[in-house]
Chain A
Amino acid sequence: MSIVSQRTRVGVRAEVADNKRIMAHVDGREIVVFEHRGRLYGFENLCPHMGGPVCEGKLAPRVEAVLDSDGAVIEERFDKNEWRIVCPWHGVEFKIEDGVCAADPKYRLRRIEANYDGDDIYVS
């Protein structure tokens, strides 16, 4: 069930251009909407770890380690198919696709549906 009670306009397309983010207060909650690689993402700006402003953190791709057939690490590299938002308080990473914490799935961000309607952006 969504944490937003009704469809609410929070901004316009230009406000998420150039990696900007929209912060809005809806139903008493602080939410953030941003665009990444052409898709909109919305989350409550409240980190389940200790309550930090998680959506004000940086985006970073997953780091993966590559092994050879003997089990030796050949390299570590970025996997740009999985992006995470990094809470600026302690660096806990959450996958932007589903809001689930990369280290421990018991922590997850509250997701909010965010969509364009023309140039307007709505959350629901």
Chain B
Amino acid sequence: MDTRYEGPEPLIGTNLDHADLLRHAGTQAQQRGFDDVFIVDADFHHTERRSWAEILEYVESDVLQHFLKAGGRGQMWIPGLPDGGVIQEVAGRIHPAQSWADSRNELTASQRDVQLCREAMDSMGSNFLSFFPGWLLDLGTFGYDLEVPLARAWARWATERVLPADPRIVTLLPLPLGSPDEALKLVEEFADKPGVQGFMVTSLRYDPLYTKPYAKLWRAIEERGKLLGFHASFTTQDRPVRQLNKFISVHSVGFPLFQIIQTTNWVINGMPERYPNLKILMIEGGLAWVPFLMQRLDHEYLMRQSEAPLLKRLPSEYMREFFYTTQPLEAANLDYLEMTFDMINAKTQVLYASDWPHWDWDPPSRIWDLPFLDEAEKRNILGYNASRVFNLPIPDTMTQPPAPDSVGLSTKG
């Protein structure tokens, strides 16, 4: 029997470009009047594979730079990093982001990234986006020799080549937490750079972030009024995850798993009491894990309070003061989603994120079309919440949010 498959058949034309893919997002924005809706995309990625050679120019050690360039033979290469990119695109069924370059070959890598940001913002109707790496989200697994230089290289590249090109592009810089001292140095060096609205824990990592060596780091971020994000990622290497034989399984479990681990450690070790003004944003884990963890931690805390002596309230109460990005919005059952929004206090704590250009991205219409939100809640989630958390200005020409106290908003966040 012939079980061979010759491969997917051609598309309209031969190459579905970035702009083609986003055309319907542009139509959605027009139909919904997004030109008067302040929208912040709190999680947007570039494909650093395409910018890798340029980023490597910012690696400060000549020897390491040479090593990474030679090892990669011109392509992105990080020792030990598994290449799951093809699987992300559902074995080629979805148009791969890597093939968008064709019409932009005259641009440098960073110019191309900026151009793709602008095209996405213009199509989706967003006013700002938070620009993040992709593969470097696994920074916490690279080991000290690579983690520190690559975090520094990305920070330098982003702040010199990308953020200055368009004030609508901001970021949270990934921290090299394998070295608390180096992470603190990165905060001190980059916190005041334009577009750096905060810093990021790449959640897939094994460092005890609640311990003394990190205390100065968290205090430094808190004192500067910067945001601390935790960006989810996944691994196929951890023992429990290695049982999962399909990408759907690894991805479904992996992203929330590391958010659950980071949140549990952060809350149970009393970090919200120790750093009460440090704003926490959980990114790209979806939302469905949050009610689970709230219930689970509250249940156990009741019986084992002595193990979490710093807490003055239930764990879920601290979690309700965290901020969460929407994507990937688990919306298969809207009744469950509505309950989740209610438990998280979404109208003040949830920030829209596209996660473009990844395979499970959400356009802004995903929020606007939710039947259980009123317009004020939609506007909060799409942009006003992010305006407060990221400290971003809303243009005078657009509808402004109501005063925080008139809608019961926390003035803390």
Q: Answer yes or no: are A and B bound together in one complex.
A: yes
A interface, CB within 8 angstroms of B: 18-21, 23, 32, 36, 46, 50-53, 55-61, 75, 77-78, 80, 86, 88-91, 93, 104
Determine if B362 is an interface residue (Cβ-Cβ < 8 Å).
yes
Q: List 16 A-B contacts (CB under 8 A).
A: A19-B9, A50-B366, A51-B24, A51-B363, A51-B365, A53-B24, A58-B95, A60-B8, A60-B93, A86-B94, A88-B11, A88-B16, A89-B24, A90-B361, A91-B93, A93-B93
Interface residues of B in 91-146 (CB under 8 A from A): 92-95
B interface, CB within 8 angstroms of A: 2-5, 8-12, 16, 20-21, 23-24, 27-28, 90, 92-95, 332, 359-363, 365-366
Q: Which residues of A contact B23 (CB under 8 A)?
A: 53
A90 to B11 CA separation, bound complex (whole angstroms): 16
Q: Which residues of B contact A80 (CB under 8 A)?
A: 2, 5
Assess the A88–B365 pair: CB atoms within 8 A. Answer: no
Assess the B362–A50 pair: CB atoms within 8 A. Answer: yes
A55 to B24 CA separation, bound complex (whole angstroms): 12
What total of A-B pairs shows CB separation below 8 Å? 76
Assess the A61–B5 pair: CB atoms within 8 A. Answer: yes
Closest chain A CB from B379 CB (angstroms): 20
A56 to B5 CA separation, bound complex (whole angstroms): 20
A51 to B362 CA separation, bound complex (whole angstroms): 11
Give 8 closest A-B pairs by Cβ, nearest first: A58-B8, A77-B3, A78-B5, A86-B93, A91-B90, A21-B12, A59-B9, A91-B94
- Which residue of chain B has its CB nearest to the CB of A18? B10
Closest chain A CB from B356 CB (angstroms): 10
A15 to B360 CA separation, bound complex (whole angstroms): 32
A70 to B4 CA separation, bound complex (whole angstroms): 26
Assess the A50–B359 pair: CB atoms within 8 A. Answer: no
Decide if the interface of chain B is mainly helix, strand, loop or mixed. Answer: loop
- Which residue of chain B has its CB nearest to the CB of A22? B12
Closest chain A CB from B354 CB (angstroms): 11
Q: Which residues of A contact B332 (CB under 8 A)?
A: 104
Assess the A50–B12 pair: CB atoms within 8 A. Answer: no
Q: Which residues of A contact B10 (CB under 8 A)?
A: 18-20
* Cβ-neighbour of B12 out of A56, A75, A89 (below 8 A): A56
Assess the B11–A58 pair: CB atoms within 8 A. Answer: yes
- Which residue of chain A has its CB nearest to the CB of B28? A51
Assess the B95–A88 pair: CB atoms within 8 A. Answer: yes
Beyond A55-B12, A61-B5: 16 further Cβ-contacts under 8 Å? A21-B11, A23-B12, A32-B12, A36-B9, A50-B363, A51-B24, A58-B95, A75-B3, A77-B3, A80-B2, A80-B5, A86-B93, A88-B16, A91-B93, A93-B93, A104-B332
A18 to B11 CA separation, bound complex (whole angstroms): 11
Assess the B90–A88 pair: CB atoms within 8 A. Answer: no
A36 to B10 CA separation, bound complex (whole angstroms): 12
A56 to B4 CA separation, bound complex (whole angstroms): 24
Closest chain B CB from A60 CB (angstroms): 5
A78 to B23 CA separation, bound complex (whole angstroms): 32
A32 to B5 CA separation, bound complex (whole angstroms): 24
- Which residue of chain B has its CB nearest to the CB of A21? B12
A20 to B21 CA separation, bound complex (whole angstroms): 18
A56 to B332 CA separation, bound complex (whole angstroms): 24
Q: Which residues of A contact B4 (CB under 8 A)?
A: 78
Assess the B12–A20 pair: CB atoms within 8 A. Answer: yes
Assess the B3–A78 pair: CB atoms within 8 A. Answer: yes
Assess the B24–A52 pair: CB atoms within 8 A. Answer: yes
A80 to B12 CA separation, bound complex (whole angstroms): 21
Assess the A56–B3 pair: CB atoms within 8 A. Answer: no
Q: Which residues of B contact A104 (CB under 8 A)?
A: 332
Q: Which residues of A contact B363 (CB under 8 A)?
A: 50-51
Q: Which residues of A contact B3 (CB under 8 A)?
A: 75, 77-78
Closest chain A CB from B248 CB (angstroms): 11
A50 to B5 CA separation, bound complex (whole angstroms): 29
In this complex, which of A20, A75, A86, A89 has the most chain B Cβ atoms within 10 angstroms of its Cβ? A89
In this complex, which of A46, A50, A60, A86 has the most chain B Cβ atoms within 10 angstroms of its Cβ? A50
A60 to B6 CA separation, bound complex (whole angstroms): 10
Q: Which residues of A contact B360 (CB under 8 A)?
A: 90
A86 to B9 CA separation, bound complex (whole angstroms): 11
